[in-house]
Amino acid sequence: MGRFLTIAASRAGVLAFVVTLASAAPAQTDTTVGMSGKVEGLVLPGPELEAKPLTDRAAPVVLRVVQVYPHGTAFRYDLEYFALEPGSYDLKDYLRRKDGSPTAGLPPIPVTAKPILPPGQIEPNQLTIDPGPRVGGYRLLLIGLGVAWGLGLVAIVLSFFFPRRRRAAAIDAKPVSLADRLRPLVEGAVAGKLSQGELAGLERGLLAYWRKRLKLEAAEPGAAIDALRRHPDAGPLLAELEGWLHRPGPAAPVDVGRLLAPYRNLPPDAVELTGAAA
């Protein structure tokens, strides 16, 4: 019996050692300002953790807990973050225990956000066009001319048979606005069907768009976000997004048309959405 207890204690010690190693040295993750970074499969000891609410206007990092999995007496996390300023950060500073207990003993979670341009450079690098391999030959030329002639003949024949349908389709075609592009995402968020990653991607795109449009790119991140929340056009949808991110599940009914009114006259590609299916 004593030998059995010794073996069990030894195995428990080995398991605790493995968990400690897995949680003590997370890999350094690099990204650039405004682009999301991920830390996946990170094992952290103690009760379950969650992201702190975004209440600090001066916080240079936005952190989301995408998934949580039980891992013995610890938990395994998939984290997503993006930085508003270049620098090195510790993601554990943006986490808290769900039960309110202290986070003492958490290992560091170092990440680095690099500037988009090298130090001292104020303009992007000049684009260079890499010429592809040359494809040619008399036979390919004849084949290409034959295919083009055949397609032209088919187009002419179809124009005689279906002129009315073609004109009707041209009349019915309406330009798609940014509001039309955002509507399924907003309706999905209200119904609680969007994932945390999709909501975060939508929030990133809108923050980047409004900061550029209102010329707040040089402003301190906390002050810029505070100004956007007070703006009559940018504020309503951004405020709802923050609520959807921190209160998962179906949201309270909202007037989707009112939220999307500032985006009706914008082109559909005015906002770059990363991580959001649009």
* pLDDT tens digits, 79-110: 999 888 888 999 998 899 999 999 888 999 99
Q: What is residue 48's predicted lDDT score, i.e. its pLDDT? A: 94
Q: HSE (CB half, 13 Å, CA atoms) of 209?
A: 23
**pLDDT recorded at residue 263:** 87
pLDDT at 7 over 80: no
CB of 97 closer than 8 Å to CB of 125: no
Query: Over the stretch 48-88, which tens digit does the pLDDT of each residue have?
Result: 999 988 877 678 889 899 999 999 999 999 999 988 888 89
For the chain, domains (ranges, CATH) are: 25-114 (2.60.40), 178-263 (no CATH)
In this model, does residue 14 exceed pLDDT 50?
A: no
Bridge partners of 87, per DSSP, are 113
Would you state the pLDDT for residue 17? Answer: 39
At 85, list the tokens: 């300023």
Of 199, 246, 225, 190, the C-alpha closest to 85 is 225
- Measured distance CA(231)–CA(210) in Å, rounded: 10
At residue 96, the pLDDT reads 92
pLDDT value of position 250: 65
Residues 106-163 have pLDDT tens digits of: 999 999 988 876 665 555 556 555 555 555 567 778 888 889 988 988 888 777 766 5
Q: Is 102 helix (H, G, I), strand (E, B) or coil?
A: coil
To which H or E segment does residue 4 belong? Answer: helix 2-24
Mean pLDDT across 209-215: 87
- pTM value is 0.40
Beta partners for residue 61, in sequence order? 83
